């Protein structure tokens, strides 16, 4: 099978913890049709600690047993010495079946980004440690490179980093030197389009020469961490009257990155396969007050598209994305229709394609990734 619609990239995050409560496994990428459409899988996350890349969950990564029924190739894992099980083993089987798919191992993310500050103190040692993990002889054939998800260099995320504006460029340079010219090196980066904001805090343009593509996270702009509202969309593509923070929308980030000299051919547009929501809301239109995050399956205020599409169907659009009002709850999320429009934008802007967070949020028949694939043709 081949994917790559119109030569565009479709990258999707696959989380190692999804094999637990979410019961989402590599085989699900086959059964929901994603494997035939993905060009890249971003495997999340490895940890960054002590200035080094390390595995975050060895059981899920390479030890979990898969029986024949749950395995990509229909064969049960073995307990032979040296046999590769877990997600890594399943990804190996997936790549055998879909040889066009490339897999990058992502390190960091919101939870593990605090470790990048130490890593930035000796980027050569950091890069060497990452190479040892990604290219471990037990699974070197599984990964085609590395993804760095530092939230955020020289700015604040879960923790605040003060490594300096050059730290990110220096890290990417060290990774390219260590991994070599043929490896994929990618990075998920901020999509904060505000003046003097997180894009300006790091030298993303200078680092671009070492990176195959960037994934600006054009989602998580607004959510129920502001528990009283105002209600606003998770992933607006364009600005709109009443937007709570000017510059918090996808097109602004894309234009800002392009304006710094990063070509569209190194940028993917981000799509969330989930929504964010509030409860205690009395008005359907955006900008309403709320009393807190809406109840949800795993974490209040955030829910998968596959749940929201029937729990709280879309009632309107704002800023190029959808919103829904039901039973005192207000949610915003992308639908196949709004994703189609966003893919049109990606093509018009000459972007390399699009990426999404994350695979388990889609429906059992892959509604959202289908909309991405069709929209990029």
Domain limits, the chain: 5-272+335-375
For residue 6, what pLDDT band results from cuts at 50, 70 and 90?
low
Q: Which is the catalytic residue, given 93, 151, 178, 367?
A: 151
Burial of 376 (0-12, 13-18, 19+ CB in 10 A): buried
Q: Give me the pLDDT at residue 81, please.
A: 85
Q: State the pLDDT at residue 45.
A: 98
Separation CA 129–CA 133 (nearest Å): 6
| Mean per-residue pLDDT over the chain, rounded | 97
Mean pLDDT, range 126-146, rounded to an integer: 98
Residue 151 annotated to the active site? yes
Q: What is the pLDDT at residue 256?
A: 98
- pLDDT average, residue stretch 278-304: 98
Per the confidence metrics, is the pTM higher than 0.85?
Answer: yes
Q: What is the pLDDT of residues 153-206, one digit of tens each?
A: 999 999 999 999 999 999 999 999 999 999 999 999 999 999 999 999 999 999
Tens-place pLDDT, residues 306-349: 999 999 999 999 999 999 999 999 999 999 999 999 999 999 99
Looking at the chain, the whole-number percentage of residues with pLDDT higher than 70 is: 98
pLDDT of 7: 84
Q: Does pLDDT of 27 surpass 80?
A: yes
Chain segment 36-85, per-residue pLDDT in tens: 999 999 999 999 999 999 999 999 999 999 999 999 999 999 999 889 99
pLDDT at 3 over 70: no
User: Does CATH place domain 5-272+335-375 in 3.20.20.80?
Assistant: yes
Residue 18 near residue 359, CB atoms below 8 Å: yes
pLDDT value at position 4? 52
State yes or no: pLDDT of 1 exceeds 70: no
Query: Which residue pairs from 119-125 have beta carbons closer than 8 angstroms and sit at least 24 positions apart in sequence?
Result: 119/48, 119/51, 119/52, 119/171, 120/153, 120/161, 120/163, 120/167, 120/170, 120/171, 121/51, 121/163, 122/51, 123/170, 123/171, 123/173, 123/174, 123/175, 124/174, 124/177, 124/178, 125/51, 125/52
Mean pLDDT over residues 87-97, rounded?
98
Please choose, from the candidates 199, 48, 17, the residue with its C-alpha nearest in 3D space to the C-alpha of residue 114.
48
Give the mean pLDDT of 131-138. 98
Can you give the pLDDT at residue 82? 87
Average pLDDT, integer, range 230-235 = 98
């Amino acid at each position: 099978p081949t994917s790559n619609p119109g030569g565009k990239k479709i990258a999707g995050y696959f989380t190692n913890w999804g094999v637990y409560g979410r019961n989402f496994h590599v085989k699900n990428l086959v059964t929901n049709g994603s494997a035939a459409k993905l060009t890249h899988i971003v495997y999340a996350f490895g940890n960054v600690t002590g200035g080094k890349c390390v595995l975050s969950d060895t059981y899920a990564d390479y030890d979990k047993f898969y029986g024949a029924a749950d395995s990509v190739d229909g064969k049960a894992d073995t307990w032979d010495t040296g046999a590769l099980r877990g997600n890594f083993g399943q990804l190996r089987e997936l790549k055998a079946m879909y040889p066009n798919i490339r897999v990058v191992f992502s390190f960091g993310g919101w939870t593990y980004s605090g470790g990048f500050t130490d890593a930035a103190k000796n980027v050569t040692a950091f890069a060497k440690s990452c190479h040892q993990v990604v290219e471990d002889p037990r699974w070197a054939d599984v990964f085609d490179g590395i993804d760095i998800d530092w939230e955020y260099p020289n700015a604040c995320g879960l923790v605040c980093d003060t490594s300096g504006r050059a730290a990110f460029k220096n890290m990417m340079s060290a990774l390219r030197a260590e991994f070599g010219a043929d490896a994929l090196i990618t990075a998920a980066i901020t999509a904060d389009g505000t003046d003097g904001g997180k894009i300006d805090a790091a030298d993303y343009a200078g680092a671009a020469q070492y990176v195959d593509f960037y994934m600006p996270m054009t989602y998580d702009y607004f959510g129920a961490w502001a528990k009283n509202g105002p209600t606003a969309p998770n992933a607006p593509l364009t600005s709109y009257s009443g937007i709570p923070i000017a510059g918090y929308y996808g097109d602004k980030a894309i234009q800002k990155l392009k304006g710094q000299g990063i070509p569209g051919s190194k940028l993917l547009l981000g799509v969330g396969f989930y929504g964010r929501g509030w409860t205690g809301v009395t008005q359907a239109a955006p900008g309403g007050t709320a009393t807190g995050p809406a109840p949800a399956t795993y974490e209040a205020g955030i829910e998968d598209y596959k749940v929201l599409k029937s729990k709280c169907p879309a009632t309107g659009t704002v800023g190029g994305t959808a919103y829904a009002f039901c039973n005192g709850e207000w949610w915003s999320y992308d639908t196949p229709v709004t994703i189609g429009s966003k893919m049109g934008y990606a093509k018009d802007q000459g972007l390399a394609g699009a990426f999404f967070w994350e695979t388990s949020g889609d429906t059992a028949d892959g509604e959202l990734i289908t909309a991405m694939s069709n929209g990029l043709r």
